[in-house]
Amino acid sequence: MRVRQLLLQSQRGFASAASKRTSLSIGLIPADGIGREVIPAARRVIEAVIPNKVRLEFVDLAAGFELFTKTGVALPEETIRVCRDGGVDGALFGSVSSPSHKVAGYASPIVALRKKLDLYANVRPVVSVSPNSNIDMVIVRENTECLVCRIFSFTSLRAKAMFIKYIKSESIENNADGTRTAYATRKISETASRRIATMAFNIALARGAARPSNSPLPLVTVVHKSNVLSITDGLFREVCHDVWNTGKDGEFKKLARMDEQLVDSMVYRLFREPHKFDVCVAPNLYGDIISDGAAALVGSLGVVASTNVGDNFCVGEPVHGSAPDIAGKGISNPIAAVRSAGMLLSYLGFNEEASKIDIAVNKVLLGDKNLLTPDLGGHGKTDGVTNAIIKLL
Q: Given the rule CB under 5 A, which residues bind Mg ion?
A: 288
| Count of residues near ligand NAI by CB under 6 A | 22
**Least distance between Mg ion and beta carbon 269 (Å):** 20
Whether residue 308 contacts residue 119, with contact meaning beta carbons closer than 8 Å, is answered with: yes
Distance, CA of 220 to CA of 205 (rounded, Å)? 10
Q: Is 95 in the site for ligand NAI (CB under 6 A)?
A: yes
- Cβ closest to Mg ion, residue 161 vs residue 184: 184
Distance, CA of 293 to CA of 313 (rounded, Å)? 27
Residue 193 contact among ligand NAI, Mg ion, none, beta carbon within 5 to 8 Å by kind: none
Q: Mask of contacts with ligand NAI, 332-351, x by CB under 6 A? A: xx--x---------------
- Cβ closest to Mg ion, residue 50 vs residue 147: 147
Whether residue 335 contacts residue 361, with contact meaning beta carbons closer than 8 Å, is answered with: yes
Residue 98 contact among ligand NAI, Mg ion, none, beta carbon within 5 to 8 Å by kind: ligand NAI
User: Element (H or E) spanning 136, and its range?
Assistant: strand 136-142
Whether residue 6 contacts residue 210, with contact meaning beta carbons closer than 8 Å, is answered with: yes
Residue 273 contact among ligand NAI, Mg ion, none, beta carbon within 5 to 8 Å by kind: none
Nearest to 4 by CA among 298, 359, 357: 359
DSSP state of 161: E
Q: Mask of contacts with ligand NAI, 357-386, x by CB under 6 A? A: ----------------x-x-----------
Q: Is 146 in the site for ligand NAI (CB under 6 A)?
A: no
SS3 call for 250: helix
DSSP state of 229: S
**Least distance between ligand NAI and beta carbon 319 (Å):** 7
**Least distance between Mg ion and beta carbon 292 (Å):** 5
Residue 60 φ/ψ, nearest 5 degrees:
-75, 125
Distance, CA of 121 to CA of 114 (rounded, Å)? 9
Whether residue 259 contacts residue 201, with contact meaning beta carbons closer than 8 Å, is answered with: no
Site for ligand NAI, residues 306 to 335, rule: CB under 6 A: 320-326, 332-333
Q: Provide the binding-site residues for ligand NAI, judged by CB under 6 A.
A: 34, 38, 95-98, 110, 300-302, 320-326, 332-333, 336, 373, 375
